[in-house]
Structure 1
């Protein structure tokens, strides 16, 4: 069982939620804490971040078995508490941190392997650790490492392009995938519009499009190919085919290969998403008076030129969506984009090498780490609690503003994403904990940031394997984060 996801709008249009003065103060306090340690907001800030301090989003994140029911969350409080002290300032290690956390690490809901690390978000100083150097299967907290590597390699403003190339006479068109799993029908339609205009402009006066040297003799339609060569190796994740958590990993797909109208969460997936996208593109061209032959795989001829292009959202927004929704398809795309940036093959193996190489450049503690994929669905992934806490501290480093969306993408306890329904209105960590969750059968993890009562911002990672059930393990992990928010 892996992280299940709830809906999130690809255009970042959050639903309006009702919140209280209590939630507004906590949200603003948390935003202030991140800003204090990370410098001013930049392109790593999600567009709706300021609004979410005063509005409750009703979608996004992992389901964890709720079957799509609306999330529960904080209810109106009569008044707001006093504003917290200035956030983010380092100081002496929190008094009694070890004594506060140690009993909770012995909770029966946790598994046979238990690891914990707490670091200061400003200095990176180790504040607490138990089993922190033991490599553990991280599940979806792997996405933190993937996101940091991608942002460091490509920058927060990088966008993934999908293009169309055509021969000079317009007789042959190639839809070229760049690895953007968020390509949707609206952008595919825009590509079709631009392509149809370009092909008509290229046709000789009085000639029908497709009648030139790029088409077969006697052809009455344009030849259409689709190119997925941007990625190499197998498209099939080790979890196997026909999995509702992930489409085949290919350079060309629409809406993550989903066969319904969902934008996140589990769904039946096309097993040939590139071919399905090409067929949709062909239909769009035909509806614009440009008949095309049935699409077939193939690269563009040497003489072909790009005639249309569309781009994904900036990498910073893709990272936020990955972390908030635990989006496996985007995570695998981020890993392959990192591989391309580092000159590695865009495959599972190439991405594995690239992720480790990029994180090594950042000086992170990678002993025992292994990245079998970018999403954390592979049980062969291994990281330490120390690495996860250090990754988050690196994302808070004022010298690394390009990594900021790793922090802004973390779900907020009791409010967004995979933590929207795991903290009650009265939980100490509500609004003060942001964390990425991880869930596989027998594996439960939680890694993120917390604001201490002194205003100090810390990063943490709590990992456990050999658990009997998520229902028992998740509250035990949340109790550890709650205790952080009340210690120091």
Structure 2
């Protein structure tokens, strides 16, 4: 800050502490500074009257010399317009020898805004007060030191000839990989080596009748076979076939669309089921990532006008809503709901409970929820008029994500919905029979041998489904080939990442402890469970970094929780420990 001198004053640079102050060079000439007060005979300046803060004072216009003003309590407040002067820069001149300054007639309190009231000796030291010269010298040194510090800071922060020395970067960290890369260049496994590690685990009596196969996808070599062409019940491992058919026939970015159109009468709307069973009925509470929400659909329709009547159209699907040999007890058990093209949360009553109870009338329940939120009476079944105006639309997550989700949580309802989309894509009826035919047609066209395969649904819930273990390993081998020279591999690759991880995700999250612990994180597989049936099919990386494909199906009456499934896990974990060249 710079103080603008009057003709009878000398220029002095003065540092003012950082506070909420008015710039002194913007203030009019006011009181005589403490440093300009008459000097006492002992050489010390007279003390000024106590000062007030700027916000407590008003400036007054200049006036000819007058007698000393009255005390602050007697003097009325005065105002005058503030004058601004251009800021000038003058060099600091050495102070002349001290001389008593002529007394000034004008005296007012010089304000300093923003300070708290402090003791009068705020600027004094323990030594006796000295004259103006000594203070000027001290303050000049303070200003010089401050300028020097600011200069150093500026040089260091903003550069200069020797401001900052650039140091060379630190040497790269010595990274030692703990996981070997998956490659076809490692030692090739041999049939003898694989047989050696599987003989013991495969002989576990808890497995009952065991069929299966192990294949090296890099070479296509069968490394282990045990009844691999004999049809057996796959349970939910059948979902591998439905997922493969969907990835081969549908675009990965396809979405399932649910619409609301205008009804035949004013105020009537019709919900047209588009095959998406993942619509979320409660925001933030769903087992389906990326699901569309019912509230979004309701809000779109509300914006188009009042609704007095709600209908729902389920004509997208044909045939029975429950699959062959499905049991109605499975609805309350949480395994399945009737398959219709419009429902919320896969028909679950508790939206966040994967295995929770489902409703026996998912279409009606979903339509009633829509009607309640839009302010209409309960919904009724109806048909959408041809060419009806679109009032709202929501879309599911992409097909690739739906496939991933259905495999992770082994969702039967979502699997059957996807099988029907494959049926519609291939010109078949959107029913259980049409979905099965579509899956078979797509896989056969892709070159897979379905000899001995006989299934009646897409999810594997029916106990009458029979397929050979070799069909599962054939499909997984096509997905796991190290190169993309097979046209099927690029399309089927997402099938591998959709498989649950041992001890980490999906239906394998709580498995692979005890003797199977070595497979944690290395095995990815689809599970299958029905009464007396357990299956496991997937891929594993062995200690040499080679990918092995396997499928195991067990028919056993032993305890599935404590005996059969742990025995299957040990089989797959044994392949992980295989240095089988």
Q: Note whether the superposition's TM-score is higher than 0.5.
A: yes
- For the pair shown, which has the larger CA radius of gyration, 1 or 2? 2
What is the 5 A alignment of 1:421-440?
421-424=510-513, 427-440=517-530
Give how far 1:81 is off: 7.4
Q: Deviations over 1:22-61 (max 9, x none)?
A: xxxxxxxxxxxxxxxxxxxxxxxxxxxxxxxxxxxxxxxx
Q: Deviations over 1:81-133 (max 9, x none)?
A: 7331543447633351112212322111111x211111123343322211110
The count of corresponding residues between Structure 1 and Structure 2 is 383
Question: Conserved in 1, the CA contact under 8 Å of 2:250 and 2:425?
Answer: yes
Residue from 388, 404, 417 that aligns with 1:333: 417
Question: Conserved in 2, the CA contact under 8 Å of 1:168 and 1:303?
Answer: no
Residue from 303, 312, 319 that aligns with 1:226: 312
Question: Conserved in 1, the CA contact under 8 Å of 2:556 and 2:564?
Answer: no
Question: Conserved in 2, the CA contact under 8 Å of 1:441 and 1:469?
Answer: no
Higher relative contact order (CA 8 A, sep 6+): 1
Normalised TM-score (structure 2): 0.63
Normalised TM-score (structure 1): 0.74
SS of corresponding position for 1:181: strand
Matched with 1:189 is 295
Matched with 1:100 is 197
Task: Flag the 1:442–1:86 CA change in 2: closer, same or farther, 3 A.
Answer: closer
Matched, 1:485 2:576: yes
Unaligned runs of 5+ in 1: 1-78, 201-208, 210-220, 287-291
Question: Conserved in 1, the CA contact under 8 Å of 2:524 and 2:539?
Answer: yes
Question: Conserved in 2, the CA contact under 8 Å of 1:179 and 1:251?
Answer: yes
Unaligned runs of 5+ in 2: 1-174, 284-292
SS of corresponding position for 2:423: helix
Give how far 1:223 is off: 3.1
Q: Deviations over 1:50-86 (max 9, x none)?
A: xxxxxxxxxxxxxxxxxxxxxxxxxxxxx99733154
Q: Distance in 2 between matches of 1:332 and 1:293?
A: 31
Residue from 505, 517, 520 that aligns with 1:416: 505
Matched, 1:173 2:269: yes
Question: Conserved in 2, the CA contact under 8 Å of 1:164 and 1:174?
Answer: yes
What is the 5 A alignment of 1:113-152?
113-152=209-248
Task: Flag the 1:250–1:168 CA change in 2: closer, same or farther, 3 A.
Answer: closer
Matched with 2:358 is 269
SS of corresponding position for 2:549: strand
Q: Distance in 2 between matches of 1:261 and 1:172?
A: 28
Q: Distance in 1 between matches of 2:406 and 2:273?
A: 20
Residue from 360, 385, 403 that aligns with 1:301: 385
Matched with 2:436 is 352
Q: Deviations over 1:201-234 (max 9, x none)?
A: xxxxxxxx5xxxxxxxxxxx63321011111111
Question: Conserved in 1, the CA contact under 8 Å of 2:264 and 2:385?
Answer: no
Task: Flag the 1:419–1:299 CA change in 2: closer, same or farther, 3 A.
Answer: same
Matched with 1:40 is none
Task: Flag the 1:253–1:88 CA change in 2: closer, same or farther, 3 A.
Answer: farther
Root mean square deviation of aligned Cα: 2.1
Worse-superposed segment, 168-177 or 439-448: 168-177
SS of corresponding position for 1:104: helix
